[in-house]
Amino acid sequence: MDDQHTRAELMDRIYTMAAAAALPFAAIMVLDSLQTGAGETTLITGLGWAAKAVMLIVILRGLFLMVRKWRTRVSHTEEPESYSGGVLLKAAGISWLATIVVLLQSHRIFRSDGILGITELPSTQSGDLTAAFMLVVFSLTYFTMNLSTRWAEARDTAS
Can you give the pLDDT of all 159 residues of the chain as single tens digits? Answer: 455 557 777 778 878 888 888 888 888 888 777 776 666 677 777 777 887 888 788 788 878 877 877 776 655 555 556 777 888 888 889 999 998 888 887 766 665 555 545 556 666 677 788 888 999 999 999 999 888 877 777 777 776
pLDDT at res. 10? 77
Cα(52)–Cα(47) distance, integer angstroms = 9
User: Long-range contacts of range 94-103, CB-CB < 8 Å, 24 or more positions apart?
Assistant: 94/137, 94/138, 94/141, 95/134, 95/135, 95/137, 95/138, 95/141, 96/134, 98/133, 98/134, 98/137, 99/130, 99/133, 99/134, 99/137, 102/130, 102/133, 103/130
Cα(33)–Cα(129) distance, integer angstroms = 7
Domain boundaries, the chain: 2-158
pLDDT at res. 158? 72
Identify any residues that bridge with 115 across adjacent strands, giving them in sequence order: 118
pLDDT at res. 156? 73
Pair 136, 26: CB distance under 8 Å: yes
pLDDT at res. 136? 92
**0.85 surpassed by pTM:** no
Within 10 angstroms of residue 20's Cβ, the number of other Cβ atoms is 19
Which residue in 102, 86, 74 sits closest to 6, CA to CA?
74
pLDDT at res. 152? 73
